[in-house]
Amino acid sequence: MDIAYIPSPSSGVIHLGPLPLRGYAFCIILGVFVAVWYGNKRWIARGGKAGTVADISVWAVPFGLVGGRLYHVITDYQLYFSDGKNWVDAFKIWEGGLGIWGAIAFGAVGAWIGCRRRGIPLPAYADAIAPAIVLAQAIGRWGNWFNQELYGKATDLPWAVKISEGVNREAGTYHPTFLYESLWCVGVALLVVWADRRFKLGHGRAFALYVAAYCAGRAWIEYMRVDEAHHVLGLRLNVWTAIIVFVLAVVYMVVSARIRPGREEIVEPDRETLAKGATAKDAAVKDGEDAKDGEDAKAGTQKADGDDSVDADAAPAKNV
C-alpha cells in the first residue's frame, strides 16, 4: 500500500517562459513584493504616506539579504570553508541559505537608515510592517521545498514530504518543517494584526510581538530538524537564539508599555521639509504652529468684525 506524502519538485528551477528562475529565489522575491504591498497598506492606514514603505525597503531588503547570508555562512562555515569545499559557494545565495536572525538584525539597520532619510521614527515603521515581514517569511520558506532542504525527522504521516536521494541526504519521507514554519508564520501575522487592532500597539510593540511569537514557534520547529547544526549544551544554536530573542522581545513589550503606553501618531514630513533636514518631530511641531497661527488669524478676523459692528451701532443715523 502506497503511503501518502507531499511530493517534492523534481527540479529547483521554475521556467517563466524562456526565463529560468531558481525556485528559492522566486519565493524570496515574491515574499518581498507581498511584504512591501501589505506593509504599504498598513502604513497608510496608520497615517503614513503611500510609497514610504517602498522607499525604505530599498535600504532594508539588501541589508536583510546580506545579513541573512552572513549569519548562515558564519554559523555553517563548514559548508564553505572545510576541506574539499569551495569558498566561492558562500556567495551563491540563489542556491539557498539565509539566516532569519541575521536578516532581521541587518534589515533593521537598513530600515533605520531609510527611516532617517524619510524623517520618521523606526518603531512606528516597524509596527506597521511587522505582519508583512512574517508573511514574507511564510512565502520564503517554500524555497526550502524547492531545494529539498531543512526537513525534519523521518515520518510516515500523510503530510510527510518526499525527499529524493541526493548529496548528504537519504531518500525517504520526512516532517515538512518548511510547511510547519510557513503555517506558523501565517498564524503569527494574524495574531499581530488582531492584537494591534485590539490593543492599539505602538512604539515598536507590534514588532516585538511578532518577534516573540515567531521565536516561540521557531524553537520547537528547529528541534525537529535533522540537518547539520552546531549544538550548545545539547541544543541547536538556533534554539538558543530563539529563546534569547524571545525573552528580549517580551521584556521590551513590558517595559515599553509602562514607559510609553498607547500608540504614537504618525506625522510624515513632506519633501520640502525633508530637503531642509527636518524630522517627523519637526514636521509635527510645524503643523502645530501652523494650526495655531490659523486659529489666531481666525480669532483676529472675528475680533475685527466685532469691532466694526460696534462702530456701526455707535454712529449717528443720517437724516433722510
Give the model confidence (pLDDT) of 99-115 as tens digits.
899 999 999 999 999 99
For residue 258, give Cα distances in angstroms to 194, 221, 254: 21, 32, 7
Round to whole Å and give the CA distance between 241 and 211. Answer: 12
| Cβ atoms of 21 and 143 closer than 8 Å | no
Strand partners, 152: 225
Would you say residue 1 has pLDDT above 50? no
Are 211 and 147 in the same domain?
yes
Round to whole Å and give the CA distance between 289 and 173. Answer: 67
Are 132 and 157 in the same domain?
yes
291 lies in some domain: yes
Find, among 153, 152, 9, 27, the residue nearest to 96 by Cα.
Answer: 27
Q: Once rounded to an integer, what is the mean pLDDT over residues 12-27?
A: 85
Residue 304: which residues within 8 A CB-CB, separation 6 or more?
Answer: none
Are 286 and 218 in the same domain?
no
Are 305 and 229 in the same domain?
no
Number of domains, the chain = 2
Find, among 66, 213, 248, the residue nearest to 130 by Cα.
Answer: 213
Q: Once rounded to an integer, what is the mean pLDDT over residues 173-180?
A: 95
Would you say residue 157 has pLDDT above 90? yes
Are 82 and 163 in the same domain?
yes
Q: What mean pLDDT is reported for the chain? A: 86
Residue 44's pLDDT band (cuts 50, 70, 90) = very high
Q: Containing domain of residue 299, as a range?
A: 279-314
320 lies in some domain: no
| Cβ atoms of 175 and 160 closer than 8 Å | yes
Are 264 and 294 in the same domain?
no
Residue for grid cell 519521507? 173
- Residue 161: its H or E element: strand 161-163
Are 36 and 93 in the same domain?
yes
Number of neighbouring beta carbons within 10 Å of residue 307: 10
Its pTM surpasses 0.85:
no
Q: Tens of pLDDT along 31-40?
A: 999 999 999 9
Would you say residue 289 has pLDDT above 60? no
